[in-house]
Amino acid sequence: MRLGVLDVGSNTVHLLVVDAHPGARPLPAHSHKAELRLAELLDEDGAIGPEGVDRLIATVVDAQQAAEDKGCEEVLPFATSAVREATNADDVLARVKAVTGVDLQVLSGAEEARLTFLAARRWFGWSAGRLLVLDIGGGSLEIAYGIDEEPDAAVSLPLGAGRLTGAMLPGDPPDPQDVRALRRHVRASIARTVHEFSRFGKPDHIVATSKTFKQLARIAGAARSGDGLYVQRTLSHTSLEEWVPKLAAMNTAQRATLPGVSEGRAGQLVAGALVAEGAMDLFGVDELEICPWALREGVILRRLDHLPNG
């Protein structure tokens, strides 16, 4: 069957269309993205303003049309931290449903972490042993650990690259004092959760998903996305440590010229790099592997598991 998954994230609204069957690998058929930056459209009360809601509705309508054009039998719509944490989330969801008919399911941070973990487990298989999975989004950082398809521990922290950039790194390039303050904040936040994972023992394989980690790995010398899904891509703590001060010294335009860095994400890369470096350091990670699958694939896999013949 042809399935669509509509991901309303903090940075983008992304429709991924796949050909999916129980027991088989979902095959990407189409990708439709719009940069909305919902996290930046919150007003001082933490609400998504009228302009933001109108833009969200227009984007959802476009995605609906794309899903219909590509022959989707079903679309799985969900929203993550930007909508989840908006003070007017219920009103926004009701308006989207009234105008478009789309009932956006708001995932909790723990659900995000669990579904991303499921995708990583299916990608790497049982032979990968105990997995530690890190995912940096626009609004939050998800961390999950486990040996099965359901993680033993899963947390979500408000350490997304977009959120932190807007709140703590106003300059371009950022002021070194602001970078230092953000570094302290990130590490203190992550350190509070490390004990939840350390009691389960050392992971056998550490993996990362998300655009932030993919861009950092590419900057550090990993293969281009055009080289295919099945090329192994890794990121070492040493390489990241070397790149963080370089990225912090650049402005957005300069970062956008780096290999694999999109213009839309270049402004958030310093914050994302500080989160990645902090997580790798505090969890004692020398090197991690990039997983091509993440939350969207996890949502699809969970749906396939619940089909009658799944």
pLDDT in tens, 141-177: 999 999 999 999 999 999 999 999 999 999 999 999 9
Report the pLDDT value the prediction gives residue 40, as an integer from 0 to 100. Answer: 76
185 in the same domain as 140: yes
For 212-257, the pLDDT digits (tens) are 999 999 999 999 988 998 999 999 999 999 999 999 999 999 999 9
Q: Is 90 exceeded by the pLDDT of residue 307?
A: no
Distances (CA, A) of 260 to 15, 44, 161, 245, 290: 21, 33, 17, 18, 14
222 in the same domain as 118: yes
Domain span at 56: 2-106
- List strand residue ranges (DSSP E) for the chain, in order: 2-8, 12-19, 27-35, 74-79, 105-106, 131-136, 141-146, 153-157, 205-209, 234-236, 287-290
Give the end of a domain, one of 106, 127, 150: 106
Report the pLDDT value the prediction gives residue 309, as an integer from 0 to 100. Answer: 60
For 189-199, the pLDDT digits (tens) are 999 999 999 99
Residue at 303 is within a domain = no
Task: Report the pLDDT averaged over residues 261-284.
Answer: 96
Coil vs helix vs strand at 257 = coil
% of the chain at pLDDT higher than 70: 99
134 in the same domain as 93: no
131 in the same domain as 99: no
% of the chain at pLDDT higher than 90: 88
Residue at 119 is within a domain = yes
Report the pLDDT value the prediction gives residue 10, as an integer from 0 to 100. Answer: 87
CATH of the domain at 182: 3.30.420.150
191 in the same domain as 273: yes
41 in the same domain as 167: no
For 105-139, the pLDDT digits (tens) are 999 999 999 999 999 999 999 999 999 999 999 99
CATH of the domain at 92: 3.30.420.40
Q: Look at residues 123, 131, 4 and name the one whose alpha carbon lies nearest to residue 65.
A: 4
156 in the same domain as 254: yes
Give the end of a domain, one of 58, 90, 106: 106
Residue at 301 is within a domain = no
Residue at 305 is within a domain = no
Residue at 97 is within a domain = yes
Give the end of a domain, one of 106, 127, 152: 106
118 in the same domain as 84: no
Residue at 307 is within a domain = no
Contact residues for 274 (Cβ-Cβ < 8 A; gap 6+): 164, 179, 182, 183, 186, 244
Residue at 304 is within a domain = no
Residue at 308 is within a domain = no
Total domains present in the chain? 2
Report the pLDDT value the prediction gives residue 281, as an integer from 0 to 100. Answer: 98
pTM of the model: 0.95
134 in the same domain as 160: yes
Report the pLDDT value the prediction gives residue 303, as an integer from 0 to 100. Answer: 94
220 in the same domain as 164: yes
For 59-112, the pLDDT digits (tens) are 999 999 999 999 999 999 999 999 999 999 999 999 999 999 999 999 999 999
CB of 160 within 8 A of CB of 185? no
| 310 — pLDDT class (breaks 50, 70, 90) | very low
Q: Is 80 exceeded by the pLDDT of residue 43?
A: yes
Average pLDDT, the chain: 95
284 in the same domain as 261: yes
99 in the same domain as 229: no
